Structure 1
Amino acid sequence: MANSNETRVTEFILLGLSGNPDIQIVYFVLFLVMYLLTMTGNFLIVVTIYVDPQLHSPMYFFLSNLSFLDLSFSTVTVPGTLANFLSQSKTISFRDCVTQFFFVHFIGGAECFHLTLMAYDRYVAICRPLHYTTIMNRRVCLLLVVSTWAGGFIHACAQSFPIAQLSFCGPNVLDHFFCDSHTLSLLACSDTFTSEVADIANSGTLALICFLGVFISYTYIISTILKIRSSEGRRKAFSTCASHFLVVILFFGPCVFLYMRPSVVFAADKQVSVFYTIVTPLLNPCIYTLRSEEVKKAMKRLGESEKVLVFWPIFGRHY
């Protein structure tokens, strides 16, 4: 435990991805372009689904919420990282650090639950198609989405509270580009056993719930698809699930690698963090729009009717 005469840390220094100024400029340009594309792509999906009546179905309602989660997730980490690349001090206050940590796990946890919810939606659509509109009615869809946000909030509180109770008396250098549990725990001068156990238990519970939800849903889905006699029917059924399953792998894989272990820092941690906080939110709109004829057609209709969308010429060429 920290002694009373020890100076408590009031701010941290984020080392970022590189100490080389030239490389930092390259990273700044690269991350800025990726962030703008992420915001544009996900925003276009949200607007397209909201505006086009043909996309007012549970599947696309969940997709629009996923896009909103993706652009929110990137916004929690990327703007601060971009400012860090251009700043000389590269500091973040203890309060801002804990706040950023909270929102990373709030939105990240909500996205984990939401991807599980989307797996359940595909289960109902494929395994119980005649009852789909009855089961996934508007009220149920809203309650399910609210529950994913509530689950993310509970997860973030359980993650953040133990970290906020730790004492930091120096050093204050975080070898990362945003505040995360492992790097913070390594700098604590108080006992981290409780926070580490809470971290693993909380992340483990989240991972177990989501894994079981996705696994059970896809077990039934695959079993039902294999019973379809026509090859064309099987192909269409698999196609509706392929995009979601790919997104699940891209998001859950890095999260399991980063959080399902004690506070040990590996050399690849920052690269893996870049992938799931920046690259995955950028890829999700491409994965869904490129595999969905309905979304591509809706975006084309939106581009023809709403010329004020200045980003449409950029994305419209690909559709």
Structure 2
Amino acid sequence: MNSKRNQFIVGVFVLLGFSIAIVTVVWLGFTSYFKKGQYAVAYFDESVQGLDKDSPVKYRGVSIGKVYRIGVAPDANLIEVIMQVETGIEHIDEVCAQLKSVGITGIMFIELDRKTPQDVLLTPKLTFEPPYPLVITRPSDIRKFMTAMEDILKQASDLNVARISTQIQNVLTEMETVLRDADVKGISRGLQTTLDRIEKLVDPKHVDKTLTTIEDAVNRVGALADTANRAASKIDGLIASQTPAIANAVTNLREAIVEIRGIAESGNTLVKNTDNRLNTLQRQLTDTLQVLETTADHLQQLSATLADQPSLLIRGTPPQERELPR
């Protein structure tokens, strides 16, 4: 009796286990069947190393699906990636897919974003009909970097480095020849000699007297110009009814007055420029006199020291004091 009851209990547990397994399988199947979402396909013209099945599909950082399958496209050139987008995007044809990496781990995922006209130009061209709604792709950041490096290396290889180096060498040789022929040191010595002569010839008293004379001459010329201008005005009133010859003479007289005024202004400019240069020379002479005065003081000190201790000329140091015997 106990044996039959045990067999009955075991049978009930077996049936219950089979029922639970069947219900689980059916529930999982219906869950995936009624699961919301859509499939889309993207084709990449680059390596998808690090991208696996069930890798995340994100829209601006928000996970909205996963990778359903990865394979080779029918043209045996592109990589076909079928994505299962669960939620978040209604019009899948308005987005663009790009491969992104997670830090330095090498793990890849697919990032979706709104497409631009530039993305339409960069996406690979298909020669077959895709099985699901197509999502255009853009090159990954790594692909862009590698393409830019290839372009730089190509441009560098196209440069004629040997020719450029030869041209630079020729330019440097010509510059060296020009500098050697210019005799820069000789020109510098000539300028220094000329400045020394100018300093010797310039006498401050004579220059001040010359400036005073020039200023007086300029003032006289200005007064003469004013007098001539007044005379021209009077003559202009008198010759209103005279012949054209007199009118031409008056015109010439006015032109002469204008020239006299120009000469006066030139004289004033010359006086100002000469004054500035004399001020500079005076400062330089003052500095030189200060240096000479300092040198004279040093010589006077040296003379006093030698007069007090003549042995410095032979020994170079003052004599040592001798100790007196106790």
Coarse TM-score class (shorter-chain normalised): under 0.3
More helix by share: 1
Larger relative strand fraction: 2
- Which structure ranks higher in relative contact order (CA pairs < 8 Å, sequence separation ≥ 6)? 1
Q: TM-score, normalised by structure 2?
A: 0.22
- Name the larger-Rg structure: 2
TM-score normalised per structure 1: 0.22
